[in-house]
Structure 1
Amino acid sequence: MADYMQPARAFLDWFRAWPGTTFHDDIEIVDLRARGAGRGIVAKRDIPVDTVLFTIPRKAVISATTSELATLIPSIVQGADNEEGEQEEGGDGEDDDGDDDGDDDGNSKQDPWTSLILIMIYEFLRGTQSPWKPYFDVLPAVFDTPMFWGDDELKALQASPVVGRVGRAEADEMIRTKVLPVVRANAAVFFDKAGAAPLDDDALVQLAHRMGSTIMAYSFSLEKDEEDDDDDDHRGEKADGSEDVEMRDGDEEEHAHGPGCDHDHAHDSSSSSSDGDSAGWVEDKDDQLPLGMVPMADMLNADAECNAHIAHGVDALTATAVRPICAGDEILNYYGPLSNGELLRRYGYTTDKHAFFDAVDVPWPLVQAHLAEQMHLLPAEAAKAADAVDVDEFEDPVMLDRDFDEDEETGQLRAPEGSTSVVLAELPQTLRRQARAFAKVALRQQQKRREKALASAPKSKQTGKNGKNDKTQAPKTEKEVVAAGLAGALAARLAAYPTSLAADEALWQSGSVPAGSRLHAALRVRIGEKRLLAEAVALAKAMLVEAKAEAKAEAKAAASKTKKNVRDDDDQPSGKRQKR
């Protein structure tokens, strides 16, 4: 039977032998499969805050600046210089027809993802000739991300937005147009020089998928911070204020974090991405920063609460404890505020604490349809209102998620003040604003149509038996329409899942789904999304009760005022009695 920890021991020996590395005596790499994880790093003894846990020299990072492939095939380096007008070796960086998406001679402009995929393929094929062979030996060969799931496993996610973002087809297309042509055009480099047997296209695609998923899970974005910053706490900057190399998350502007926990994996952390044109790890290549694989940093597992931070300096990366760590505790990094769905899509696992970040999409057309239903709009009328509001500018889909505090210094989560559980506090402002805008325009247009129809109707149709205008039931107020429309849309979004929340929770409690399995992860994802939607439905229904009560009070006040005016008119003397 193979020794599961032997590759990790060899990797640690290799790591310590690399010039410039450090690895604290009070931490160790251990087997965490009993906890539902793989390998990880734990504290052997109590560790004080600010302890340097390990140091990684930048020369140990696999990137275009450290792998010899960049010198053997200069064109594989991402096209940052080309964007500034410099030409690639052997051409102008574009095909003759102006399309720079790829060509057969392998000199197409690469992006950070395909550049690193090619480097990883080359170094992997080199085997023992690669300086990073012990590192490759501890990287996973099999991934549990949905990209590698079967159809039945994907069905377990039900109506989760994760299903639409797996992106296997898009990844295949990228590999076949950007990676395979380079390998085929430089077969002597990838196979003869590396000493590897040639691979057919299908085998190369599979290897590229493996490398792409490895990059998705473990790579970091590399960026040199050109600006001076006197704030020692600036994320990525060394404490002495010297120039730094920062590793950024693609969604940094939206989720700015302090020095507590790292948020710097290469992928954008937004589970609310509404880009429907890309999916899987393909979509995460849009950030044009160079990427690198960082040995030992990726040995850390991660959760929504972390106890370590990785600072990125010019010459080295340093992992530091952000709060005291007790003996036996796992050293944990932070991948960003990802929902369990996004955590699964990117890394292939889920956690209890990432339920804080759970999110689910609400398509705007679904909301609009339910708003239109509340106003009894015909399709043409709904379309006219949508054109008047310009719903093309609306956020679609709108994402539901919860607000809570994060302690950026210690890497801990805090529930909302006064709350004892993770509960949605309010519906997204964007969702309410868009619903109000559509309802307001549609109601105004509807009122104009009603008035026009009434004005053009025969007198007999305009007056009732008392000779007064015949008034039908008062139309719903804007608040009623919005609340009822949102409640209906959210309930419909929840109903898109074929099993109920109660049934899923009972299944979870039964323990019949093996912990750590793909089906277990899918169950956790859909339970979190259904809980969020159920909380949203409850909020919308509460809004509707309030809106109806408000409308009833306003109608009562208006009726009372009308009745008073009629009574005042009756109390006035008639014209004949006033005449003398």
Structure 2
Amino acid sequence: MSDDYLQPARAFLEWFRAWPGTTFHDDIEIVDLRARGAGRGIIANKDIPVDTVLFTIPRKAIISATTSELAKLIPSIVQGAEAEEKPESEKKEDKEGEDDEDEGDDDNNAQDPWTSLILILIYEFLRGPASPWKPYFDVLPAVFDTPMFWSADEIKDLQASPVVERVGREEADEMIRSKVLPVIRAHSSIFFGEGVAELDDDALVQLAHRMGSTIMAYSFSLEKDDDEDDDEEKKEEKPKGDDEDVEMKDGDDQETHVHENEHEHGPDCNHDHGDDSDDDSEGAGWVEDKDDQLPLGMVPMADMLNADAECNAHISHGVDALTATAVRPIKAGEEILNYYGPLSNGELLRRYGYTTDKHAFFDAVDLPWFLVQLHLARQLGLNAAETVKVAEAIDADEFEDPVMLDRDFDEDEETGELKGVQGDAVLTELPQILRRQARAFAKVALRQQQKRREKALAASKKQTGKNGKNDKTHPPKTEKEVVAAALAAAFTERLAAYPTTLAADEAQFAETPVGSRLHSALRVRIGEKRLLTEAVALAKADLTAAKAEAKAEAKAEKAAEKSGKKNDRRDGNDDQPSGKRQRRN
């Protein structure tokens, strides 16, 4: 069985080695890893030293808009994606060589890098043996386990995971029908040449979904390493300290804006399908990942490598070729693994259709801001109109929404090895940005409430002649109490959106076949529930401490009143003693 399974891979390897400029190290081989639930993969036959070149792929072997003849047959399908990068002489040549059938419909045919590559893959796939990449297509999967292809019942197994809202089957259907199908129908003689049976719309949509998912799982952004250096410079920007608040619109207490969330749950440089971490749109499925406008390509052999959160190989992008290199010593029998970036298991499942133990280090779950604001308003006793007024006084455009809650871990940057926090906990503190946002809302609300109380007391004094000093109303909650109680309630409500308990999921996970879709769904929601469960506990601990602090301050204030000394009550704006709150440089 294994021999039959590996036969296409052997033919592919022979085809790969025949390309001018390719290399494939003698001490590595393609093997059957289905026993590990991993399909095909590459292992080392002998010990391999660090910095060893494992294989090399010339750019001419990559399927892209610059290598497929479809770009010459229908130039306009790539003009939208790559015209700016071409010299004027090449643009002129493209126009002069354009098929008469293509004239007049440039606007309709113009594609982004994603749809352009989908069209190219469909064209090359339909060509069959006539395509230079036929042996490569033979080893690419025809079926995917990404949620895009799950049944409705299987999707329900993800419960309240944010992955559910990002599947995007309907959005992908719409994009295919509006941008891909019209081009194929307008150029049917090109796509359905001699001996190729024409497909109906439904069959083409299914094929386009397959190619879109193939791009999601296996394509590379064809950048050069110079671009990676620029990315590293951007990553060196320091986050703000916990003592820095959100800017308020009213000009009081002018402070610095909230920084962007630094933990990006997206792909890294080795397989970049478009970083949507800074995109505010509500995209979903593989459609949302097409926003990056870097040229895309399918890179034979690079996608033979499986990947995990801890890798031992790296794909570098050179001018003429891409090179896979060992980033640390690889022992004989060890699998060679690429790195797909700091992806949570939920995002790994959405993009690639599988989950791993080690990607649990990057697990994350969202907390929508509206849920936090709702519970802040309840703690403060605000009605709908008052809540809106408070929100309008804050520069909410600077808010993270949703706020991502993710695990604590240590990473060895040299070896890529991951280490969890000490003990059983996966979370040691709540996100600073979440506290800042909640604190900004509570600060404005408490300030407005204080002004209303002062106005009411002044009116009472004017009406009754009393100064209001003996007012016995219950003292307002401190800012710390309000924030901690609201966060505890928001996390509790977010956790309650999952219909089963963490304990029940863990018991079911232990009995579920490894590699099944249910197994993946359970791993995703277990990771999210662990984070939420520990977040609830941390928020409740904060609340207990805030109440104790408020009680101590109230007691001290009473003692000061009895002794005739004035003791200004602090409003709880400072989260830590001043010595600990100094900004870290």
If the TM-score is normalised by the length of the shorter chain, which range does it land in?
0.7 to 0.9
Instruction: Name the residue aligned to 1:222.
Output: 222
Q: Which residue number corresponds to residue 543 of structure 1?
A: 542
* 1:73 aligns to 2:74 (yes or no): yes
CA deviations over 1:61-108 (Å, ceiling 9, x no partner)? 0001111111111111141455689889679xxxxxxxxxxx967853
Residue correspondence of structure 1 range 404-419 to structure 2 within 5 A = 404-416=409-421, 419=422
Aligned residue identity for 1:265: H
Matched, 1:396 2:401: yes
Map 1:401-480 → 2, pairs under 5 A? 401-416=406-421, 419-421=422-424, 423-457=426-460, 469-480=470-481
Structure 1 residue 58: deviation in Å? 1.1
Distance in 2 (CA, whole Å) between partners of 1:322 and 1:262 is 16
Match of 1:263 among 258, 261, 269: 269
Tell me the residue number matched to 2:160: 159
Q: SS at 1:45's partner residue?
A: coil
For 2:180 and 2:546, the matched residues in 1 are separated by 58
Larger radius of gyration: 1
Give the root-mean-square deviation of aligned CA atoms: 3.1
How far does residue 556 in structure 1 lie from its aligned partner after superposition? 0.9
| Structure 1 equivalent of residue 99 of structure 2 | none
Give the one of 302, 306, 329 matched to 2:307: 302
Alignment correspondent of 2:529: 530
Give the distance between the partners of 1:60 and 1:374, measured in 2 at CA.
Answer: 62
3-state SS of paired residue (1:405) = strand
Secondary structure (helix, strand or coil) at the match of 1:530 reads: helix
Q: Distance in 2 between matches of 1:269 and 1:557?
A: 53
Q: Give the TM-score normalised by the residue count of structure 2.
A: 0.84
Distance 1:337 1:369, change over 3 A: same
| Amino acid of the structure 2 residue aligned with 1:369 | L
Q: Equivalent residue for 2:196?
A: 196
Residue 565 (str. 1) matches residue 537 (str. 2): no
Query: How far apart are residue 461 of structure 1 and its match?
Result: 8.4
C-alpha contact (below 8 Å) 1:104/1:182 kept by paired residues: no
Amino acid of the residue matched to residue 445 of structure 2?
A: A
The 2-side partners of 1:227 and 1:130 are apart by: 32
Partner Cα separation in structure 2 for residue 340 and residue 334 of structure 1: 14
Structure 1 runs not aligned, ≥5 long: 92-102, 235-252, 568-580
Q: In the alignment, residue 426 of structure 1 is paired with which amino acid? A: E
**Match of 1:333?**
338
Identical columns (%): 77
Q: Distance in 2 between matches of 1:413 and 1:453?
A: 58
Q: 1:517 to 1:104 in 2, by over 3 A?
A: farther
Separation in 1, partners of 2:282, 2:95: 32
Matches within 5 A, 1:281-296: 281-296=286-301
Task: Indicate how the Cα distance of structure 1 residues 76 and 153 shifts in structure 2: closer, same or farther if over 3 A, else same.
Answer: same
Match of residue 239 from structure 1: none
Does the C-alpha gap of structure 1 residues 468 and 279 become closer, same or farther in structure 2, counting only changes over 3 Å? Answer: closer
Q: Which amino acid aligns with 1:548?
A: K
Matched residue, 2:100? none
Matches within 5 A, 1:94-105: none
Compute the displacement of 1:463 (Å): 6.9
* Residues 104 and 81 (structure 1), Cα distance of their counterparts in 2 relative to 1, 3 Å cut: closer
Displacement of 1:408 in angstroms is 3.0
Give the match for residue 344 of structure 1.
349
Match of 1:357 among 362, 383, 401: 362
Residue aligned with 2:198, SS: coil
Q: 3-state DSSP class of the match of 1:19? A: coil
- Pick one of 370, 378, 387 that aligns with 2:383: 378
Cα deviation, 1:140-178, whole Å, max 9, x if unaligned, reads 000000011111111110110000011111111111111
CA pair 393-262 structure 1, distance change in 2 beyond 3 A: closer
Which residue matches 1:32? Answer: 33
Q: Is this contact kept in 1: 2:225–2:316, CA < 8 A? A: no
| Alpha-carbon distance between aligned partners in 1 of 2:220 and 2:174, rounded to the nearest angstrom | 24
2:221–2:272 CA contact under 8 A, matched in 1:
yes
How far apart are the structure 1 equivalents of 2:67 and 2:301? 17
TM-score (norm 1): 0.85
Aligned residues: 528
